[in-house]
Amino acid sequence: MGLKFEDLEVAREFMLAEIEMDIDAEKIHLSSYLTQSGQGNWPDLLRSAAQAGNDDSLAKAVTGMFNGRIQKRKSKGFGYIWAAVPHNANEVSAEGEFNRYFCRGLARHAINENIPRLEVYRAKRVAHATVAVDACNSLFRGRKLRLSRLSESVLRSFQYSCADSAPIKL
């Protein structure tokens, strides 16, 4: 089951702009788990999911486009080993990348519309929250950040300056 994206329809056009910006700058993330043809198809599949789908539709679209094994450097740094690609690599990749562009698109929409605050919420349905996630949620409660600081310290993937934006409450 995928993530619950509130205001996805509002963010779509901005998600697409962010995806196009990364494609043009050749900064789109291409997982080393993807096959060569999977890497070639990834930008178009990501774009299609941003236009009319979600992380689940992206995960389904990339099923079968992942290598069974990849070569990884040994932990000591000398030599290589063959490691199995996780069976859910399509879901993890789709969730992560779709969510990244959703956050960027929503933040860009907020800047465009002079929306003074965004709310951070848990988008993944889980039976039991981990201590680390609860600690992270507690960290953001009641804290004020400017969108520029948010982009630097939390999302790190923003590609534009937000220095003149209004502060937001998290």
Cβ 71 vs Cβ 85: under 8 Å: no
Q: In which domain, by residue range, is 143 found?
A: 8-169
Q: Is residue 1, in this structure, part of any structural domain at all?
A: no
Q: What is the pLDDT of residues 54-100, one digit of tens each?
A: 999 999 999 999 999 999 888 887 899 999 999 999 999 999 999 99
Q: Is residue 58, in this structure, part of any structural domain at all?
A: yes
45 pLDDT higher than 60: yes
Q: Is residue 3, in this structure, part of any structural domain at all?
A: no
Q: Is residue 2, in this structure, part of any structural domain at all?
A: no
How far, CA to CA in Å, does 155 sit from each of 63, 72, 102, 104, 143? 27, 27, 11, 8, 16
Q: Is residue 123, in this structure, part of any structural domain at all?
A: yes
SS3 of 52, please? helix
How is residue 81 annotated by DSSP? E
Report the C-alpha gap between 124 and 4 in whole angstroms.
Answer: 6
Domain count, the chain: 1
Supply the pTM of this predicted model.
0.74
Cβ 89 vs Cβ 33: under 8 Å: yes
Cβ 45 vs Cβ 61: under 8 Å: yes
Please name which of 87, 111, 93, 89 lies closest in space to residue 18, comparing C-alpha atoms: 111
Assign 126 a pLDDT band (cuts: 50, 70, 90): confident
Q: Is residue 54, in this structure, part of any structural domain at all?
A: yes
